[in-house]
Structure 1
């Protein structure tokens, strides 16, 4: 199609419109983009979870060499809980204590980086995540050295009288909680930083103009606005801490074993896969119940 601009002028070609994709193609395009991620989840999460669920219902009298028969043995669940209930309670107690300590340490740190660090903000963020560049196992072994009976920390605590002459930190619940706090602290700080970094400081100034004290400003303004980051951070901290077994194995003793240690030994040492699988499902169910209750009570559906 052409348009004449005057007598003797050359025709000017108008650009032809690119045909739009059909409505059907546009409707299916988002699903096609999601297909690789969905396939990955099915292959590496759904299928192993179903297999684990099947394993939890095997006949517990079987063996690795002779095989296990599918007998739909739902009694594996109460039996597993009766066997490992002290470790289950201990896991949630240790993870809960470590989460509280993490909040006490992580909230002021995240606030300082987000609101007060200025040009040092990026450097401080790198310092928070830098330990994660090292293996989880190496970091825990480093704490084993720090908390050892001949280490400098125990020596200082003995000198100031906080530990007796024979007092120790290693192979105690204190060491396990400290290890959990250190290893999972970045997972709490980063979501908190993301929420606090978006905080509008004019709201804090307005609260001060209305004669609110700093403490009241924090409770009424800062804390509610940072609640999505706090909820996300505590979940990212608490959930892996409950299932952790490395800190208890390296920093604790037989009396500080967590449920992860029992699951690990059931699969690898005692050759009891049905028990280990049942404990894994019980742990997932308990964590899901706590997560849903916590999110509802926190009063926010927005998780950063």
Structure 2
């Protein structure tokens, strides 16, 4: 046994002590918290899925407005007009549309496109769809700003170099839109993760999000310490995302991270 092993032997007692009295309890607490706080995981998953869905819908629309539309302000206003209505009213309207006897499912069942037992309410699909719809402006506006700021001369230069539209989009537009995509993701994900209206109206017992748990502990159970602790956990998770945005995309040029 050479000298290279000596430091490890000398530090072995301290390492064992740290593992037994620090690492093991920490891992145990973490596993228990995950088991007892499934709503946090559900909230993050639903918020992530809704954010991705909103990005998929908003990016083509904002791209068309920024690059193709002649009356940009008009179409941008049309995109935002539905969201002048109350958040709760819009969510309740989706509840009416997606109900088993609603306008959508009734016609689909009459046409035998879906089975009679098919339903959408009280499912993850309904919650994710409601989140994506209600927070669509938080996704669309940063994307539009990022796309609008792209220098059109860069696009012209890519076409002068015989780049196709697809190549120009993937190698010019998309990289330059990365800060806007990241900002849109963050601005949508943060409120969606803490939302409880969509899950309460469109969801069921299997789609309980962290916002519902916090609301019930504050207003119904009066368990203020637990509600505050859950709020702090959610806040820390959101601050991590904001810090990541500020670190990597807040003050650097696009060439450094594309």
| TM-score, normalising length: structure 1 | 0.68
Change in Cα spacing, 1:290 to 1:163, as seen in structure 2 (3 Å) is farther
CA contact (8 A) 1:245 1:259 kept: yes
Cα separation, 2, equivalents of 1:147 and 1:163: 13
Aligned to 2:136: 185
Cα separation, 2, equivalents of 1:204 and 1:177: 35
Aligned to 2:148: 197
Within-5 A mapping of 1:142-291: 142-158=93-109, 163-291=114-242
Change in Cα spacing, 1:289 to 1:244, as seen in structure 2 (3 Å) is same
Aligned to 1:112: 64
Cα separation, 1, equivalents of 2:66 and 2:184: 15
Aligned to 1:301: 250
**Which secondary structure state, in structure 2, belongs to the residue aligned with residue 154 of structure 1?**
helix
Structure 1 residues not aligned, in runs of 5+:
1-76
Q: Deviations over 1:67-103 (max 9, x none)?
A: xxxxxxxxxx979945742100000000000111111
Cα separation, 2, equivalents of 1:192 and 1:231: 9
Highest Rg: 1 or 2?
1
Which runs of structure 1 show a deviation greater than 6 angstroms over 4 or more consecutive aligned residues? 77-80
Cα separation, 1, equivalents of 2:142 and 2:206: 34
Within-5 A mapping of 1:55-134: 81=33, 84-119=36-71, 121-134=72-85
| TM-score, normalising length: structure 2 | 0.80
Cα separation, 2, equivalents of 1:98 and 1:165: 27
Structure 2 residues not aligned, in runs of 5+:
1-28, 253-258
Shift of 1:226: 1.7
**Which secondary structure state, in structure 2, belongs to the residue aligned with residue 110 of structure 1?**
helix
Cα separation, 1, equivalents of 2:48 and 2:111: 29
121-130 or 236-245, larger mean C-alpha shift: 121-130
CA contact (8 A) 2:138 2:188 kept: yes
**Which secondary structure state, in structure 2, belongs to the residue aligned with residue 255 of structure 1?**
coil
